[in-house]
Amino acid sequence: NAGVTQTPKFRVLKTGQSMTLLCAQDMNHEYMYWYRQDPGMGLRLIHYSVGEGTTAKGEVPDGYNVSRLKKQNFLLGLESAAPSQTSVYFCASSGQTGNTYGYTFGSGTRLTVV
Amino acid sequence: AQKITQTQPGMFVQEKEAVTLDCTYDTSDPSYGLFWYKQPSSGEMIFLIYQGSYDQQNATEGRYSLNFQKARKSANLVISASQLGDSAMYFCAMSSLYGNNRLAFGKGNQVVVIP
């Protein structure tokens, strides 16, 4: 039972490079989220999805794009990486009635932009 | 908009003592959920406890209890009988159905348990 799987776990990018972070869940969850975590800031929501084919902006969406072509996958893209995007990225998913226990987090992706 | 506030500085706790972590929140949604997560140095997010806004009783999960005071909009976490493995960052979070189940996090409390 994998839960939420994030790939890659670590990545170093040069400024201006692009990359895609993949989040995959096997729990048939409707909702998926991408967060970033910076020291002293807690987790901040970048983008989220309420179902296959949907995406919406969160608290800090600038510089990121997302896609949810399949229910189980939620991709986070950085088109032109900047040092300010150095962070730890977490993906999470929840059921349709996620207002209970049902949030599951991936193990995180540590991204460094140099 | 939902807002979670955790303002305590880093805390040192003696092993076997209890510790209380403060969390206040602000929301206009009538129905919401409050969560506490633990993040050890290894980095994973570990769910600890949940309290629904309409729950009459305070939530408890083993050594964790949530002191929910709805009128004061506070949801403090109490860890009883601290263990060395409790050393971690602790995050308070909130979600609501009106907010598309998005979890909003506080900035966290650092706890170090000393023997």
Min Cα separation A82/chain B (Å):
23
The proportion of chain B whose per-residue pLDDT surpasses 70, expressed as a percent, equals 97
For residues A2 and A27, the answer to whether their CB atoms sit within 8 Å is no
Residue A43 and residue B51: Cα distance in Å, rounded? 20
114 residues of chain A, pLDDT tens digit each: 679 999 999 999 999 999 999 999 999 999 999 999 998 889 999 999 999 999 999 999 999 999 999 999 999 999 999 999 999 999 999 986 645 556 899 999 999 999
pLDDT at position B102 is 86
Phi and psi for A102 in degrees, rounded to 5? -85, 25
At A74 the pLDDT is 98
Query: Confidence class of residue B74 from pLDDT cuts 50, 70 and 90?
Result: very high
Q: Minimal CA–CA distance to A63: which of A48, A88, A84, A49? A: A84
User: Is B41 part of the contact surface with chain A (CB cutoff 8 Å)?
Assistant: no
For residue A35, the distance in angstroms to the closest alpha carbon of chain B comes to: 10
Q: Which residues lie below 8 Å from residue A38, measured CB to CB, with a gap of 6+? A: A44, A87, A88
Contacts of A97 in chain B (CB under 8 A): 97
Interface check for B92 against chain A (CB to CB < 8 A): the answer is no
Q: What is the DSSP letter of A69?
A: S
Residues of B with CB below 8 A from A50's CB? Answer: 100-101
The whole-chain average pLDDT of chain B stands at 93
Residue B64 to chain A, least CA–CA distance (Å): 15
Name the DSSP class of B97.
G
> Can you say how many angstroms the Cα of residue A13 is from the centroid of all Cα atoms in its chain?
17
CB A103 within 8 A of CB A113: no
**B81 touches A at CB < 8 Å:** no
What percent of chain B lies above the pLDDT cut of 90? 81
Q: Which residues pair with B69 in a beta bridge?
A: B74
Out of A41, A90, A100, closest to residue B50 by CB: A100
Number of cross-chain residue pairs from A and B with Cβ atoms under 8 Å apart: 60
Give the pLDDT band of residue B96 (cuts 50, 70, 90): confident
Q: Is A61 on the interface with B (CB under 8 A)?
A: no
